[in-house]
Amino acid sequence: MTDTLFLSSSDVDDLATAAEYVEVVRDGYRQRGEGAAAQPRSKFRRDDPQGMLTTYAAVLPETGAMGGYMYTAGFGAGDAWFMTPLFDADSGAPLALVDGASMNPYKTGAAGAVAVDELARADADTLAIIGSGSQARGQLRTTATVRDFAEVRVYSPTPDNRESFADDFDADLDADVFPVDSSAEALADADVVITATRASEPVFDGDDLEPGTHVTAMGQYTTDKRELDTTTVERATYVPDLRERATFDAGSFLLACEEGDVSEDDIHAELGEVVAGEAPGRTGDDEITVFDSGGTGIETVAAAYMLYEKGRDAGLGTTVDIEPASEAMSDI
């Protein structure tokens, strides 16, 4: 019998800082760059009732944990549920089941922040954000821990959304955070661009990118999502979270390949390879870089294990008894 800890979203909410998420996710990607196992998402769809089941996993041997995400969306309820099973990487025993909803924007944002730290210019101080939802908020919270931004511009098609986003962060950050009326206005002279949308068409013109810009795109994790146009992909040093995912469901990269402007050979490296020093990151001030963040088990396991340790040490959560197969099947 094993005591497995269940942590609710309210248990883990505010349990870790944005900087702590970045620290553990960075280490997770380092492990991946040194050979840790991870796979792209598997996605299953149902038409009636309409819904989607998604799962992905990773093993982080130095952290001592393995697991991933399993989540659903739709199915008539019009909502989503994020569950994170976590296992001991040595014994295989279940450690925890974490309600992964509240950590989602932070762990995804942390992957983007690690990429900014590895690929953006050291003197980057102007940030453009396209999108104003929870993922955009998570990206800003975490990215602000790796660069001292003087100016943050946010564009969202809905004026009220971009204005409330700017109001919230202008009070929290040292940077001047303000809304703009177009993506082109957001991009003007920006050092870092973050796209966090559900767009199926490019959200900016790649010709508007200044030399030396870094782009993190995190809303293109299916073949029909395309935040970036072919011009951006073609101009950039292209770094995905997982090489295998780039040729599986990274919509912008796949469409650029279909149009014949790039190929699989144009994948520079995985983020983990850059973090681990197995491949170079930025090599010049005028280089345009892209991090394609579709979500992996790497940041999920790294973040969930951190929350598990913090929750356990704080006496949070509820323990559940889980029998090993040797006991549960003994009477068959």
Task: Go through the domains of the chain in sequence order and give each one's CATH number.
Answer: 2-104+297-328 (3.30.1780.10), 120-292 (3.40.50.720)
C-alpha torsion 108→110→116→118, nearest 10:
-120
d(CA 214, CA 228): 13
Task: Render pLDDT for 123-139 as a digit per residue (tens, 0 to 9).
Answer: 999 999 999 999 999 99
**Euclidean distance between CA atoms 29 and 20, whole angstroms:** 14
d(CA 107, CA 38): 16
The pLDDT of residue 77:
75
**Strands, DSSP E only, in the chain?**
2-7, 42-47, 50-60, 65-74, 79-88, 94-99, 126-130, 151-155, 176-179, 192-195, 214-217, 237-240, 289-292, 318-322
Over residues 74-107, the pLDDT tens digits come to 887 778 899 999 999 999 999 999 999 999 999 9
Whole-number pLDDT of residue 214: 98
The per-residue pLDDT for 138 is 97
pTM above 0.75, yes or no: yes
Question: ω before 49 within 30° of 0 (cis)?
Answer: yes
CA 194, CA 158: separation in Å to the nearest integer? 17
Q: What is the DSSP letter of 264?
A: G
Q: Which of 154, 156, 195 is nearest to 173 (CA)?
A: 154
Q: Under a CB-based contact definition with an 8 Å cutoff, are residues 71 and 79 in contact?
A: no
**pLDDT value at residue 204:** 96
Alpha carbon of residue 294 to chain centroid: 6
Structure confidence at residue 186 (pLDDT)? 97
DSSP for 173-214 reads SSSEEEE-SSHHHHHTT-SEEEE----SS-SS-GGGPPTT-E
Strongest mean pLDDT among 35-49, 110-124, 223-237, 314-328: 110-124
Q: What is the pLDDT of residues 148-171, one digit of tens each?
A: 999 999 999 999 999 999 999 998
Tokens of 249: 């469901």
